Structure 1
Amino acid sequence: MTKRTDDLITASVTHRFAASPEAVFDAWLDPKLVGQWMAAALAESSPGTELTSVTIDARVGGTFTFIDSRDEDQNGPTGTYLQIDRPRRLVFTWLPEEGEHSVVTIDIEPADDGCVLTLVHEMDSRWVDFVDRTAEAWARMTRQIGATL
């Protein structure tokens, strides 16, 4: 789903999990779990590409970096955690390249059979041509979290 404002566009994804809100929340911050689901999502989108490093400092103000085998100079998506409210909300910056900046907000609501995650990725409107691809990437990652859990 795409929403536009004057300067920002958003890509959003909703996914239902058969796992607890705590398990889904922790899957975003545990380096071992992130490595599992992100590697699977990467293999699905870019066969032959491997996740080589996951670094997570899971605290407000802490950072993360994910590096894959396409990144010859050992750069990859990085970000800073802005809000960590386990198991309800996680907010972080997402910087796919140097100089880029966007914000991802994840809300997790309990459900009878697990939980529902809603992810909203706000980015500069100049990326409008990539918003559908961004939503597809987040959908792929949430599917892989479900498969991992």
Structure 2
Amino acid sequence: MTDHAHITARLTHRYDATPGDVFDAWLDPESVQRWMGAALSESAPGTELLRVEIDARVGGTFRFIDSRDPEQAGPTGLYLEIDRPRRLAFTWLPEEGEHSVVTTDITADGDGALLTLTHEMEATWADYLNRTQETWARMADQVGRHLSA
């Protein structure tokens, strides 16, 4: 992040899956299509995730397009760090000109895995901190449902 003031959303989620499986669920386009699509339709009924584009390498990008406005890209980002199965960091740009950084740290936890997600945003997003945490929690839950299916 920059030197500007920022706020941080955090969550921890445990999975009955290996760290590698949890990590891969964040980078495989078919997996992301399923879990993110389910989280999106849960938060915005009737909305469908139309396309997931992922170039899973440091410096690679991602783009998600949903049915609310198929002419516009939804969230986009740039992969900053990919350290399978431990860490994934990327920028999260919900709209043009906005910038935040999401980091997922994944550790073994008994026979499962523990995901700790940190989302650093500009302080101007303070009014959306709770909504951001709820959205990431919904997505983390859907990752778990996907992995246990």
Pair 1:136–1:15, CA change in 2 (3 A): same
TM-score, normalized by length of structure 2? 0.95
- Structure 2 residue aligned with 1:27: 25
Which stretches in structure 1 are left out of the alignment for 5+ residues? Answer: none
Q: CA deviation at 1:71?
A: 1.8
> How big is each residue's C-alpha offset from its partner over 1:116-146, in whole Å with a ceiling of 9 and x where there is no partner?
0000000000100001100000000000000
- Structure 2 residue aligned with 1:127: 125
- Structure 1 residue aligned with 2:65: 67
- Pairwise mapping of residues 1-149 of structure 1 onto structure 2 (< 5 A)? 7-149=5-147
Cα distance between partner residues in 1 of 2:95 and 2:69: 11
Q: CA deviation at 1:113?
A: 2.4
Cα distance between partner residues in 2 of 1:18 and 1:86: 18
CA-based RMSD of the aligned residues comes to 1.1
Q: CA deviation at 1:11?
A: 0.3
- Percent of pairs identical after alignment? 66
Q: CA deviation at 1:114?
A: 0.4
Letter in 2 for 1:108: I
**Matched-pair contact (CA < 8 Å) for 2:9–2:118:** yes
Give the match's secondary structure for 1:121. Answer: strand
Give the match's secondary structure for 1:19. Answer: coil
Q: How many residues of Structure 1 are paired with residues of Structure 2 in the alignment?
A: 145
Letter in 2 for 1:109: T
Letter in 2 for 1:62: G
TM-score, normalized by length of structure 1? 0.95
Letter in 2 for 1:67: I
After superposing on structure 2, the runs of 4+ consecutive aligned residues of structure 1 that deviate more than 3 Å are none
Q: CA deviation at 1:73?
A: 2.4
Cα distance between partner residues in 2 of 1:119 and 1:56: 19
Q: CA deviation at 1:72?
A: 4.1
Q: CA deviation at 1:43?
A: 1.0
